[in-house]
Structure 1
């Protein structure tokens, strides 16, 4: 009888605990919307049910949040928007951190509240809306393991503060969301609160960090039905004026255009660029590139960063190909030289359509057209000039189908296509099958992709193939993985994708151990080891084997550090020689690296990273790097971050030049120094002055005159390399960029930005110059100065449709 009663008691306790951890929240339809001012005194809020009892998420993942920092929320909706009221209580409100920042900069020294809304209740897709205690808003899209802060929509949120804590009031219009066209909506939601002073994060519905992902722990939302949203049509017209002064010449330009968003249905949205302009995108972090692969940069254009998560499935779409550098070649006659060649191709227009059906089928279509582009060629003897095509009129297209199921899995088909006008130009088509399949318990995951590329050029049609497969254990403290990567010799996705190499057949395996609860002085510990074995597909030969051991430690003081170790066996590099079938042997090496990051809650904090590599059988070849980045917060409005990075690679071997019969390598010392300075002064969450400066200097010095020819077996034979007759590889590279901007978000979705920038660049063969001497040479070059003003205004059709409905009297 005692055992029976004990079993019943345990069952009741277990049921009670599970019931406490699994919540349901009811959204109430309202007729009078609250005023979004952050002061929760509207009558509508007083009549709505209150939901509280937040759970611990970080650093501990057990129990409820303390009563003195409890959080309450209320949820409402009408035919225009979803409304959220959040009450963040704090027994010491005068100590709540409130560092000012600008949109999407929500991970600063300020408390934070976040609404995670899943309008499909699929455990995968979330639209997240953030606000800090200083009033900064942000938004992001969460899909499986990817969180995209490039996602930007127009919503409203205001905050207030009193002697009990701080408060947030959200209005999330339906034109920011996508949901099925059904009478009764099946939504889910979770809320997260980050407390900087206490170093804690809380969640409304409990999240078990050791199993699955956060999006799988949202609470069901009931009561949302019969939504009749207005027309989802918004316009973003912009105008820009700029003046550029370079080498004594001045150029003034005026431009304008418009972006349009139109809701084709409640689930699908059309985005279009009419007369695109990217005049104020950030500088690329250009470096000296001595390797065999192209130098690439992240996307800075808003159209190709906002709502782009669906098109990134399978990683075969690289948007910088659209409107990038011209791809054509010019056949020059005798005595001809190119006098003017554009560095990029102008974009005529772009559209994208994306959304998800009620059956969780995601559909995406993106199309862009770039204009025909010419370079100017001059005959030095006759003085005649002609225009030569370096890029034809080109159409870029991406189509994606993504089926999600079981709240943790998806299968996707993606196709990219590039069509260039003219029968002699290269066309390309790439198709991929991508999958991510987890079991019901979220303890194991299998993921991968298979890709077929087709390139049709002057040499005819070339078809290539690539595949990836990975298997993971994804539950508990101890986890492991293994995988295989393959590509044949004709695999090529670089017309609208990014792929540095093909012809490989590689294997990887690894394991890790991490904690999800504090242990002693540590909030978190993680150890991992990974081994990789790399081979060519054809011929089937080993190219190298490597091992990495990584550690991470986070202290309760919010300081963190880590130490990593790595080993690489002798490597046969088939890419550095830049000739098909040839390879160079690099000796085995080992190395270590580490980092220290201090608590950003302090006014003065610092990040230090460093590492080295040593080659076992080469006594004088060595590499080391050091990066130091202090930051000082003068006030809640002013932050300064300085970063200095130094790298030195002594007696490095690399490709120098090639002839019809020989490949030349040289021994060089590579030194680089990069300094960046960022200063941000935030008047409030809507206005800020930002200064960003970057100077990158690097030299490749071959002054000891040690050169080699590459042998067929990958070894090197010393040779004489005549600098007078061949390309001089000695390089002094120096670049300077400065951006000074004032940005003002003067209304929801509307922004004015005044930008001053200058840039200087120099590259020569004076590789033995020191840093200060190289700066003197840099400042001898002409400086480009640019001043520009850009104004973008947000227009909602529903606010102006009355103008079009008026009839003449």
Structure 2
């Protein structure tokens, strides 16, 4: 069969030379980097918001916080002391936040991860990879409100990341206290031949009434980087990777009651359904993690907001499903280092996995129909993490089942049709750090394959789609300057009618129709 390769369009990201800060600014490495020592736990620690156990008094305090705003470099107006204790299962952090006006401590109540509140905070950032680029951040307010997020690429953050950790707070006449327990299973780290030498750590205090933020490790606003400015946490010699095995089986049921048409053969005023599945998370050697799910249930995930889309472009919703959030930073590709990158290229959109069926039953003469609201994921697995050698690895595979819609003709005949074919997804991502993370080179390959044995599906869906690319980022001058770029290409194949529909779709950004013969079964883009 004659294959007409369409006109190739350059879609590579342009090489960007971007000044991050003025070259006259003080360089980051000339600033002092504080160090604190962790204490190995010898007795029981109860997370109750009171640092009255003996281990807390034995731990070395981190103090001398400096303001990052409103007066960068000035001494914090209120004193703070933080201590770190650990054992083979968890990291314990105790912070004493003194306050000369305890009656003015801001402590508005809110749900977890809610940011728009008037409250004091203590934030704890942990760079357990010790790559000066990634950090797990935990925050707690005087009311005990928790927030967590994941920071990557030194200064970018993912607020959708959620961890399982415990905290307690107490307020007294001299200030307030925060006590935190972070299971090691929630962190990513590896142990080399010499064990764990050090981690990066940062403490940040928010004093709401003064609009003041103070940090343990100084971070002047004119300096580039965030995680790269963390202080050092030493004394972790007794740390060993936990046996991170989590198995979470589930059984769920659903009952739906709603008014409907009694003549509809598919209407059930009390529709019920049930499903069973399991989630598995296992820590592999070298700092990698295996995450797998069988027949996942994402019923607990926050529902997407209603959107009325009157444009010709697709609506992109944020990913909130826990399985797909694990190691999400590793799979990112195509983002350039610029001052303003509000519309980065999106090469991997996980919401397409398990999406709503796209074929409608219009045109089949159906009087009534019953179509699934989503494509069920049969199983999915992912390996992600970062090794001691600076290699970031991400491999994801998923399979969604064939979905069928039922419909009834006016004469009462009942039939069914495939509304979404069985689909296989695969993503491979590699990224290698050099020069302590100041130079990063990576590559990506993604693939989608659909089973289109039903001839009616061929004009509606492309059969195969592959995207491959390479990217890099290079920083120099103590991270004052950056050069980044990427080159990527895609190839899709399938029925000629599907190819024609693909190039004419408003959401594909092909800009203009590409010349193609009626027998063309493939399209390529670069």
Normalising by the residue count of structure 1, what TM-score does the alignment of the two structures yield?
Answer: 0.53
CA pair 123-491 structure 1, distance change in 2 beyond 3 A: farther
Between the aligned partners of 1:301 and 1:81, the Cα distance in structure 2 is 25
CA pair 19-243 structure 1, distance change in 2 beyond 3 A: same
Counterpart for residue 419 of structure 2: 390
1:37 maps onto 2:38 in alignment: no
Between the aligned partners of 2:134 and 2:466, the Cα distance in structure 1 is 29
Matched residue SS, 1:216: helix
Q: Is the 8 A contact 2:64 2:80 kept in 1?
A: yes
Counterpart for residue 89 of structure 2: 80
Kindly report structure 1 stretches of 4+ aligned residues shifted beyond 6 Å. Answer: 17-20, 489-492, 536-539
Query: 1:493-508 counterparts in 2 under 5 A?
Result: 500-503=507-510
Between the aligned partners of 1:138 and 1:284, the Cα distance in structure 2 is 21
**Superposed CA offset, 1:200-252 (max 9, x none):** 00110100221212111111222222423441112334444433221152223
- Which of the residues 468, 489, 499 maps onto 1:452? 489
Cα offset, 1:356, TM superposition: 0.3
1:52 maps onto 2:63 in alignment: yes
Counterpart for residue 151 of structure 2: 142
Q: Is the 8 A contact 2:200 2:232 kept in 1?
A: yes
CA pair 172-281 structure 1, distance change in 2 beyond 3 A: closer
1:376 maps onto 2:406 in alignment: yes
1:289 maps onto 2:286 in alignment: no
Counterpart for residue 266 of structure 2: none
Counterpart for residue 587 of structure 1: none
Cα offset, 1:89, TM superposition: 0.7
Gaps in structure 2 of 5+ consecutive residues: 1-27, 261-268, 335-345, 516-526
CA pair 282-188 structure 1, distance change in 2 beyond 3 A: closer
Query: 1:146-185 counterparts in 2 under 5 A?
Result: 146-182=156-192, 183-185=195-197
**Superposed CA offset, 1:56-93 (max 9, x none):** 11222122212xx1111112222222221111110011
Query: 1:357-372 counterparts in 2 under 5 A?
Result: 357-372=387-402
Cα offset, 1:110, TM superposition: 1.7
Counterpart for residue 806 of structure 1: none
Cα offset, 1:307, TM superposition: 3.8
Between the aligned partners of 2:400 and 2:320, the Cα distance in structure 1 is 18
Cα offset, 1:157, TM superposition: 1.7
Between the aligned partners of 1:435 and 1:133, the Cα distance in structure 2 is 42
Counterpart for residue 228 of structure 2: 216
**Superposed CA offset, 1:515-557 (max 9, x none):** xxxxxxxxxxxxxxxxxxxxx8989xxxxxxxxxxxxxxxxxx
CA pair 426-44 structure 1, distance change in 2 beyond 3 A: same
Q: Is the 8 A contact 2:473 2:483 kept in 1?
A: yes
Counterpart for residue 356 of structure 1: 386
1:322 maps onto 2:356 in alignment: no
CA pair 91-238 structure 1, distance change in 2 beyond 3 A: farther
Q: Is the 8 A contact 1:232 1:262 kept in 2?
A: yes
Cα offset, 1:418, TM superposition: 0.9
Q: Is the 8 A contact 2:327 2:385 kept in 1?
A: no
Between the aligned partners of 2:503 and 2:230, the Cα distance in structure 1 is 41
Q: Is the 8 A contact 1:372 1:393 kept in 2?
A: yes
Query: 1:403-802 counterparts in 2 under 5 A?
Result: 403-405=432-434, 406-422=436-452, 426-459=463-496, 500-503=507-510
Between the aligned partners of 1:64 and 1:253, the Cα distance in structure 2 is 61
Pairs aligned (count): 459
CA pair 90-432 structure 1, distance change in 2 beyond 3 A: same
Matched residue SS, 2:280: strand
Q: Is the 8 A contact 2:168 2:179 kept in 1?
A: yes
Between the aligned partners of 2:444 and 2:363, the Cα distance in structure 1 is 39
Matched residue SS, 1:313: coil
Q: Is the 8 A contact 1:114 1:128 kept in 2?
A: yes
Between the aligned partners of 2:274 and 2:350, the Cα distance in structure 1 is 26
Matched residue SS, 2:56: helix
Cα offset, 1:192, TM superposition: 0.6
Between the aligned partners of 1:415 and 1:337, the Cα distance in structure 2 is 44
Normalising by the residue count of structure 2, what TM-score does the alignment of the two structures yield?
Answer: 0.79
- Which of the residues 298, 301, 326 maps onto 1:278? 298
Between the aligned partners of 2:147 and 2:119, the Cα distance in structure 1 is 13
CA pair 500-460 structure 1, distance change in 2 beyond 3 A: closer
1:27 maps onto 2:38 in alignment: yes
Question: In terms of Rg, which structure is larger?
Answer: 1
Q: Is the 8 A contact 1:106 1:112 kept in 2?
A: no
Question: What RMSD in Å do the two structures reach over aligned CA positions?
Answer: 3.1
1:97 maps onto 2:117 in alignment: no
1:119 maps onto 2:131 in alignment: no
Gaps in structure 1 of 5+ consecutive residues: 1-16, 463-488, 505-535, 540-809
Q: Is the 8 A contact 1:211 1:442 kept in 2?
A: no
Between the aligned partners of 1:375 and 1:254, the Cα distance in structure 2 is 19
CA pair 274-18 structure 1, distance change in 2 beyond 3 A: closer
CA pair 270-114 structure 1, distance change in 2 beyond 3 A: same
Cα offset, 1:283, TM superposition: 3.6
Cα offset, 1:329, TM superposition: 6.8
Between the aligned partners of 1:20 and 1:435, the Cα distance in structure 2 is 28
- Which of the residues 384, 401, 407 maps onto 2:430? 401
**Superposed CA offset, 1:183-203 (max 9, x none):** 143311111111111110011
Between the aligned partners of 1:205 and 1:241, the Cα distance in structure 2 is 50
Between the aligned partners of 1:282 and 1:19, the Cα distance in structure 2 is 45
Higher relative contact order (CA 8 A, sep 6+): 2
CA pair 362-461 structure 1, distance change in 2 beyond 3 A: farther
